[in-house]
Each structure stands twice: as structure tokens, then as C-alpha cells.
Amino acid sequence: MDPGTRMSTLETGERRDSIRVPDDDEDRLTTGGDMDSDNEPDYLVRRRLHLSRAKLRGVTEMAALMAGFSVVATVELQIRKCTSPILLTSFAVTTALLVTTTMLSIMIATCILPHLEAVAKLDSIHLMKESPHEALIKYIDLSWVLANTFSILLFIVDVILLCWIKFEDLVVCIAFTSIMIPVLILLIIFSLIFYRQSVQHQYDDRRRKCDELEILNELLNNRSTSNNNSRVPSFNTLQV
């Protein structure tokens, strides 16, 4: 083989090496195949972890806002002498409930969120499975409901009572209340509808997974039955 032919052969081999098709391992690394897909169990672990972390982050922001407003409203409120004691008592009770719910939500988020942040930054499936968010999911949901449902409802009631205490004009108080009451009713209706749809979605998801497991079980049973039948010797082969 002459030198020119040898050089062309080497160049052709280099081109083939440069455009060779990657194998399965390299394809996973280059195309992100090592990331969890929707059909893999690790995807559910990551999803629950990040969902719990997002809930607790939202809880801290919302609860801090509500608690700050209630404290400022209580401190800066100037009470008139002619204010009804019933309004003052209602405002005090509503503010106390608002502060209690927000502080409870913040306490739960403060205790659980650092563990989730540490596990999420490490990005390890083994550590995610050992994360406390699975065992403490009830407390996470409780803090989320308190911060995003009860605290908002108490906040609206607190603002209505604050308006009746602050303003002397009866027309202004009635106008403000007539605007806020429909908003309160809409929030309650939205909360109920959202909770119902969320529960329905979880039920449908669990039902779909159960159906998939049943189909997989039937396929495995059929395969095992066919394998057992293939291993049984026929009578024709045993005849002399």
C-alpha cells in the first residue's frame, strides 16, 4: 500500500471515529438519560421533595406577610373612646388567631425546610429517600393549609373589623364590608374547589398506578405460565 492510500485510509478511519454513534451509556450522559423520567420511581421521589420544599417556601413568605401586618395593625391602631367593646374583642380574637396560625406555620417550615434544602442541593436519590419530608408530609400540608387558607380568611376578617374600628362614617364601613364579604366568599369557594380537584387528581393518579400494576402483574403471570408450559416435555417426544 502506497503512502497516499495509507493516509487516506487513516483519514477515513478518523472521520468514522469522529462521527461514530454513541453507545447507550454515552447517550444517557449526553442526552440527559441519567435524569429521572416520568416512568421511573426516582422521579416521584424528586417530585415529592421539590413539591414539599416549594410549599414550605411559600408558607414562610405568606406567613411572614400576615404576621407582620397583624402586628403593625395592632401597634399602630388608634382606638376611639366610642368604639364598641364587641368590635374590639372581635378584633383582638381575630388578630390572636391570625398570629397563632402564622407562627405555627413559620415554626413548622423553619424546622423542616433546612433539611429539604440540604438534601436537594446534594442531589442524591439515596439521601432524598431518607429525607424527613415523607414522614412529615402531614405537618407540611398542615402548615401550607394554615398559611394559605386560614390565615387569608382571618386576614380578610381582621381588615373588615379594623375598618369598622378605624372609620367613623357608617357608609364607608358598609361599602368596605360589602366589597370584602364577596371576596371572602369567593376565596372559600375557591379553596373548596381546589381541595376537591386536588384530592380527585391524587385519587386518579393512584388509580392509574394500580391499573398499571395490575396489567404488569397479568403480563408477568402470563409469561411465567408460558415458560412453565415450554419446560414441560410433550408426550410425542417421549414415545419410542
**Is 207 among the domain residues?**
yes
pLDDT > 70 fraction of the chain, expressed in percent and rounded = 72
Average pLDDT, integer, range 42-60: 78
Say whether both 52 and 136 belong to one domain: yes
CA 162 to chain centre: 34
Say whether both 114 and 177 belong to one domain: no
**Is 138 among the domain residues?**
yes
Contacts of 149 (CB under 8 A, 6+ apart): 191
CATH of the domain at 87: 1.20.140.140
User: Using H for helix, E for strand and C for coil, what is the string for 87-99?
Assistant: HHHHHHHHHHHHH
**Is 147 among the domain residues?**
yes
Question: What's the total number of domains in the chain?
Answer: 2
- What's the CA gap between 185 and 221, in Å, rounded? 54
Q: Nearest CA to 84 among 16, 141, 159, 166? A: 166
Q: Inform me whether the pLDDT recorded for 139 exceeds 70.
A: yes
Say whether both 59 and 93 belong to one domain: yes
Say whether both 199 and 144 belong to one domain: no
Residues spanned by the domain of 184:
167-217
pLDDT confidence bin for 124, thresholds 50/70/90: low
Task: Provide DSSP, 126-191.
Answer: HHHHT-TTTTTHHHHHHHHHIIIIIHHHHHHHHHHHHHHHH---HHHHHHHHHHHHHHHHHHHHHH
Say whether both 90 and 193 belong to one domain: no
| Positive/negative CA dihedral, 105, 108, 110, 114 | negative
Q: Residue 214 corresponds to which amino acid?
A: E
Average pLDDT, integer, range 19-27: 41
pLDDT digits (tens, 9 = 90+) for 210-233: 888 888 888 888 887 777 666 655
For the record, the C-alpha cell of 67 comes out as 404576621
Q: Nearest CA to 147 among 84, 102, 179? A: 102
What predicted TM-score, i.e. pTM, was given to this entire model? 0.63
Q: Of 27-36, 105-114, 145-154, 174-183, which range is least confident?
A: 27-36
Q: Nearest CA to 129 among 119, 139, 138? A: 119
Q: Inform me whether the pLDDT recorded for 56 exceeds 80.
A: yes
Average pLDDT, integer, range 126-137: 70
